Amino acid sequence: MGLGGPWAWLLGLPTAMVYGSLALFISVLHNVFLLYYVDTFVSVYKINKAAFWVGETVFLLWNSLNDPLFGWLSDRQFLSSQPRSGARLSSRAVVLARVRALGWHGPLLALSFLAFWVPWAPAGLQFLLCLCLYDGFLTLVDLHHHALLADLALSAHDRTHLNFYCSLFSAAGSLSVFASYAFWNKEDFSSFRAFCLALAAGSGLGFVGATRLLRWRVEAASREPGCPTLAVDGGLCEEEELLLGGEETGSITLGQYLRQLARHRNFLWFVGMDLVQVFHCHFNSNFFPLFLEHLLSDHISLSTGSFLLGISYVAPHLNNLYFLPLCRRWGVYAVVRGLFLLKLGLSLLMLCAGPDRPGLLCLFIARYALPSFIPTPLSHSFIFVCSLSAGSNRVFTEGTCKLLTLVVTDLVDEDLVLNHRKQAASALLFGMVALVTKPGQTFAPLLGTWLLCFYTAARTDACGECPALARAPGSTPTTGPDAPPGLLLPAGAGAHHLCSAAAVHLVPVHAVWETPACGQSPASEPVTGPNPGH
């Protein structure tokens, strides 16, 4: 086949597939990052405890603020009716700007990912810089990628079609978690480093290729008289007429924009609901590994537990492949409302069943991971409460979180019409939603940790520690230098932002550093043997 053959085949790919492939290039990096970055710095680079906490604290603040910051810098020109250049912006020009931004920020995200696995500075400084750089580029990529969902298509059907391919490619990208187990070796880090280099190279080249294809599609559409037969170009043509018909409203300051959002009632209701949903989603993600640890630690091997964790990364995306066709048939709001009612029904079922049916509880804790009930030493009341809040509807909670992106795109359209904007400030609105809902990521592990202590023991031990947390994986050595990370890991890759922002609260649970006996001083160096469990 000639050189033009593969290029012609690539040009023939559906626009939705090219857009969805960007989720693959994000997912292959982010899942590996979530699984290994803490273990690498603690067990391989031997970062000290103070530097680790400083890095995580700064990262938590940066992760909370960069979404609205980058959204404002990206979309503030769209808030005014007259752009600074004095020329009107077409919808295609906005799409091209976002695609070009992805073409730059995607490879930079891959480079920042690669910086974790090669020691190039003191461990504490490298930890801080790598976290902030990676999260910054991830935020830029996520904002523009989600903004394209609103800018490429107007109809709910087309947006659902785009989101379907995102879920498909995200599930494929989650397979990098399984592949990573073959290369993970703390004693000989070169093989894992080469694996990460291959991931970064593939992701960076993928971003370049996919954005070039998208840019070619949009530029070709702008030269065509009328709308070509691409999946999303019809929406672009309709949107252009809508945008040019707005009123002149002058420039908008940040304070004025915030006041506009405060008057946007649907936005306020949504972010309130989404805050609770994000809390629920991250509670599930962070403590699902702990449920596996307590229920199955005496019955399965570490590799089997890691496999179940890998499944927990993939399953939410596969579920979304089923939910999205339902959205095209019945509408996004009907499906989301149905999922909420189903979650409520499951909770009522568990309430009626009571804490004396542990088999039913365990079925809901990991319905796709546990083949049968395995006895647990934990109290029934503890399993009951955790099942209600986290396990019984994990699948439906994750599915709902992913569908809410489509609701945000509708809020973008409503904001455009209500405030007579010349162009939809989609990246900025996604950033503002993230700003309000980020506290859910922080409070989920805090409340979960409190529940663990409250329901596993009526009192703390002599050292003032919670016995359940003291039994966390990582406190018992793992045999073999190449053992993958233990069960207690942040399986939070389902959200579109850094779920590991909660690591600052989860690290004590994971026993990253050895816990001294009563009356002894804390160890100044981290554990060098088994996985610290993040």
Q: What is the pLDDT of residues 330-371, one digit of tens each?
A: 888 888 888 888 878 877 877 777 656 555 555 555 443 333
Distance CA 21, CA 27 (A): 10
Residue 205, in any domain of the structure: yes
Phi/psi-derived region of residue 354, left when phi > 0, alpha when psi is between -120 and 50, beta in every other case:
left
Phi/psi-derived region of residue 480, left when phi > 0, alpha when psi is between -120 and 50, beta in every other case:
left
Number of domains in the chain: 1
> Tokens 């570490």 sit at which residue?
302
Provide the residue type at 156 as one letter: A
Helix orientation angle between 394-418 and 254-262, rounded to the nearest 10 degrees: 120
Record the tokens describing residue 325, joined without a space: 């066709």
- What is this structure's pTM? 0.72
Tell me which DSSP letter residue 14 carries.
Answer: -
Distance CA 116, CA 111 (A): 9
SS3 (DSSP) at 154: coil
Residue 531, in any domain of the structure: no
Provide the residue type at 91 as one letter: S
The whole-number pLDDT of residue 308 equals 64
The whole-number pLDDT of residue 106 equals 94
Contact 402, 494 (CB under 8 A): yes
Nearest Cα to Cα of residue 196 among 210, 209, 215, 177: 177
Record the tokens describing residue 287, joined without a space: 């403590």
Distance CA 343, CA 341 (A): 5
Distance CA 264, CA 419 (A): 10
Residue 533, in any domain of the structure: no
Record the tokens describing residue 85, joined without a space: 């250049």
Residue 506, in any domain of the structure: no
Tell me which DSSP letter residue 3 carries.
Answer: T
Tell me which DSSP letter residue 40 carries.
Answer: I
Contact 346, 364 (CB under 8 A): yes
Phi/psi-derived region of residue 530, left when phi > 0, alpha when psi is between -120 and 50, beta in every other case:
beta
Distance CA 169, CA 29 (A): 13
Record the tokens describing residue 528, joined without a space: 């060098």
Residue 510, in any domain of the structure: no
Residue 411, in any domain of the structure: yes
Nearest Cα to Cα of residue 43 among 498, 492, 483: 483
Residue 71, in any domain of the structure: yes
Which residue ranges of the chain lie beneath pLDDT 70?
Answer: 1-10, 80-90, 221-251, 285-286, 288-313, 354-395, 445, 449, 455-534
CA distance between the termini of the chain:
47
What are the C-alpha distances in Å from 132 to residues 55, 60, 380, 413? 9, 9, 42, 32
Residue 511, in any domain of the structure: no
Q: Please count the helices (runs of H) and the strands (runs of E) in the chain.
A: 19, 0
Record the tokens describing residue 452, joined without a space: 């663990």
Domain of residue 275, CATH code: 1.20.1250
- Expressed as residue numbers, the domain containing 239 is 15-456
